[in-house]
Amino acid sequence: MDRVALRGLRARGHHGVFPKEREEGQTFIVDVVLGLDTRPAAAEDDLAKTVHYGIVAEEVVDVVRGEPVDLIETLAERIAQSCLKHEGVQEVEVCVHKPDAPITVPFDDVTITITRSRV
């Protein structure tokens, strides 16, 4: 399976379990790796036979900006399901970064990574 990766997609969302997170929001960063067969697109040099990663990027950002959820696990699942709606995408890996998580000790990042497939 071939891979198309989108790394560092940024959007402001209002996800989290604490009222401050819901009210003020924060930046989330998303990495998406789409698994698909790109041979038909390459053979015919045809965008219609692959996934349009620009559209996928916009949809991922829309999910982050959309309806708030408590957990980044839930956010990652919603993003994965959005990606799998694209016909050629057989598998997706989603990593959601929450660099401004409300943690009381120094840290670089908090992430959740999930993999989902059609089968």
Q: Which residues are catalytic?
A: 98
DSSP state of 47: G
End-to-end alpha carbon distance in the chain: 14
Q: Is residue 59 within a helix (H) or strand (E), and if so which, with residue range?
A: helix 53-65
Which residue is associated with the tokens 């604490």? 18
Distance CA 14, CA 23 (A): 7
> Which DSSP category does 85 fall into?
T
